Structures are given as C-alpha cells and as structure tokens.
Chain A
Amino acid sequence: MSSRLQNLMQKQDVILNAICLLLATFFFILALSNLRWAGNFLTIDSLFMTVVCLMLAGIFVINPALWAHEHGLFAAEEKGAAPAHVDLHFEGTTKLFLAVLGSLLGLTLVEVMLAYFKVPLELMLTILMGLSIIKAALIVAYFMHLRFERLSLVLTLVPMLVVCICLLMIFFPDSFRLHNMRTYNQPVAPASHE
C-alpha cells in the first residue's frame, strides 16, 4: 500500500516537473525570439515582453529546482546555507531594529534631498523607485520578520505579488500611446512663454 503510494507520488513528481520544465523552456525561447523579432530592443514594449517571459520562465523553474534541492542535487549549496540557518532566530535585537530604522530614515533623507535639488523628473522617478523598493524590502524582511520565517512562506507570498504587480504594468505602453496622440500636445493655442 505504502509502496504504491510512494510510486504514485514519484510519478506525480516526474509529471509535474516535466510540465514545469517544458513551460519554462517555452517561455525562455519566447523571450529570446521576442528579443530577435523586436528590432529595437530598448523600447518599453519589447523590454516588457522580454522581462515578463523571462520571469514566467523563472517561476516555472522554481518547482523543479526546489525538487532537485530536496533530493540533494545541490548538496554543496545546502552546506553553505546551513550555518546561516542556525543563527536565524525568531527575534532580532534592539540594535538590529535601530539599525534598520536608521537606514530607513537615511534613505528617506536621500529621497527628500532629491526633491530639494529638483533632480530631473525621469531620473528622480528611477532613483525614488529603487530606494522605495529597498525600503520596502527592509521593512518586510526585518520589521515584518519575513526573513526569519520559513522559506516556503516567503515563496508562497512574494513571487505572486511581484508577478501580479508586473502584469499590471502592461497598461503603460497604452498611456504613452495616449500621450502621443493628444492633439493639443502641439502648441496650437498661443501659449505665452517667457
């Protein structure tokens, strides 16, 4: 009975991993061919499609990779990770939290300085988003304790959120199109400038 169950699980594992690997290669090939078809690769559309395809490929690789990890295929890596697992405690110390607070305040100060010096809008947007993601990661990892939780919880929560947010960005090409289609973008009315 138990050996039959084990057989079934093994078969399931193999089928699931095969499907995942197939989809991963499909999306990887799609990303590569998109790069070839796009002509100019540094456009928002082509970058977006490439990144989405690569990300989906990466997501489908996760399951086989974890399976391989569990079966000891990356034994060397596991040894490297083992000592880190030992000193991961539930608690952080007050010192750690103060350090996190200090870095959050410091990053906020940098952001405000950008506004003070009136950095050009596109550059400012890029830097601000980068800093905000770092700050969010600090809060989630240390204040919300996610760094001290089990890896399976992190893998359940974070990737799907990132994927959904990235998929929401599919609207941006449309907003650029709208912007370029506006007729009053050209100075038709006599706008008085200095």
Chain B
Amino acid sequence: MSTHAEVEHAVAADWGGGTLPYRVGHKKLGMWLFIVSDALTFSALLIGYSYVRLSSAQWATPFSFSPSILFSTTMTLCLLSSSFTMVMAVKASAHGNRRVARRWIGGTMLGGLAFLVLHIYEWSHLISEGLRPFGLSPGSKFAHEWAERWPNASPLFGATFFAITGLHMFHVFTGVLYLGGVALTIRKRTHEDVEISGLYWHFVDLVWMFVFPMIYLLSVDFGR
C-alpha cells in the first residue's frame, strides 16, 4: 500500500531533477521524439496520397503480380531481415560483444544496400517505361497502355509514387550511412548509441510496412 506521502516522494524523485524520469537517456528520448515527428511526416504523405486517389475519377493500377509485386516483396524481405539483424546487433552490444555487434550491423547495412539497389533498379525500369512525376512521357509504352485502359486516370500517380518511395529511399540511404558511422566508431560508442541507431533503422522498416501495401499492393493490376 502506498501512502500519499510516498507517492509525492516518488513523483518528486522522478521529476525533481537529477534523474531520468522516463528511465531512458536524453539521446534516446530525442530519437524517439524525432521518430514521432517523422512518422507524422510519412502519415501526412500517405494520407495525401489516399486523398488524391479517392477524389480521382480513375486511378491507374499498373503493377502486374508476376514481376512488379514479387520484386517489391523481395525488397520487403530484405528490409525485414535487416531489421532482425539490427535487433541481434543491439543484443550483442548489450552483452558487451562489440565485434559481434559490428558484424551484425554490417549485415544490416548489406540488407539496406540490397534494398536500395533493387529499389533504384525498379525506379529506372519504371522511368524507362515512361512514368514521370506529373504524367507520362508522350509516346512511351505506358502512355499507350494507360490511354487505352485508364483513360480518365489521374496524372498524379507518378507524383505520389516517386514522392513517397523517394522519401523512404532517402531515409534508407541516410540510415545506411548512419549505421556505417556507428560500425566504424563502435569502440568509442556506448551501448545506447547502438540502440539509438537501431531505433532509427526499425523506424525505416516500420514505414515500409505501410508504404508497401498502400503503394504497391493496392496498385496491383486488378485486370478488366
């Protein structure tokens, strides 16, 4: 049973200064706050995409299952497994095994790089087929196909696609650089630093868990 005085004392001990009220270091709390604000950025973008898509008369759904969706599923697998290796890195660093942690971080970076390479390949493929940020390049393969299948389609497909996946790609890119920095200087790093970089990486994975279904799976070619 806690009396009133004890509760007051506990509150004063937590918030009176000199302690960490959340039992989390300031750097880690800062990363959490950054993640919350960044999550709002992405949700604003995704809701903007949904707004445009819902208010359009027609929306193109050009991703066929066999190459496109399977390709992006592979990208998802890369990102998910890199998230797992990051967790193992944080675990190793918690036990004080810096070398093991560095190796796991290396694995994470490989997963991220694989994701980036696949993603850039996909982008260049789509651009070569004629997808542009605000419409389609005239005379391209997409231009002919879309005019036949989705004559009233909104020209903003490319804008939403490139903006959202591009911002996410930028996050993956900076994440790989950040992890590289942590891995190189891991001898000077505390466990908290490794954990914070892990938080960022998991957030990038988390965002993809919404981008992948909303951008790719909902744009699968439903056929006629």
Contact = CB atoms under 8 A, between A and B. Distances in A.
Interface of A: 6, 9, 70-72, 75, 90-92, 94, 97-98, 101, 104-105, 108, 111-112, 114-116, 118, 121, 124-125, 128-129, 131-132, 135-136, 139-140, 142-145, 149-150, 152-153, 156-157, 160-161, 164-165, 168-169, 171-172, 174-176, 178-179, 182, 184-185, 191, 194
Given A112-B73, A139-B83, A176-B54, A168 B47 contact: yes
Contacts of A9: 8
Given A9-B8, A97-B87, A160 B22 contact: no
Interface in B36-65: 36, 39-40, 43-44, 47, 50-52, 54-57, 65
B88 A97 contact: yes
Interface in B17-40: 21-24, 29, 32-33, 36, 39-40
What 9 pairs between A and B have smallest CB-CB spacing? A178-B55, A175-B55, A128-B213, A175-B54, A153-B22, A115-B220, A101-B84, A143-B202, A175-B51
Dominant SS at the B interface? helix
B50 A108 contact: no
Given A6-B8, A169-B47, A128 B2 contact: no
B206 A108 contact: no
25 contacts: A92-B87, A97-B87, A97-B91, A101-B80, A101-B84, A108-B73, A108-B80, A111-B217, A114-B217, A115-B220, A116-B69, A118-B220, A124-B218, A136-B206, A136-B209, A139-B206, A149-B22, A153-B29, A153-B32, A172-B54, A174-B51, A179-B54, A179-B56, A179-B57, A182-B57
Contacts, number: 146
Contacts of B76: 108
B65 A115 contact: yes
A144 B199 contact: yes
B54 A150 contact: no
Interface string B108-136: 00000000000000000000000000000
A12 B222 CA distance: 60
A173 to B, nearest CB: 10
Contact of B206 (A71, A72, A98, A140): A140
Contacts of B56: 179
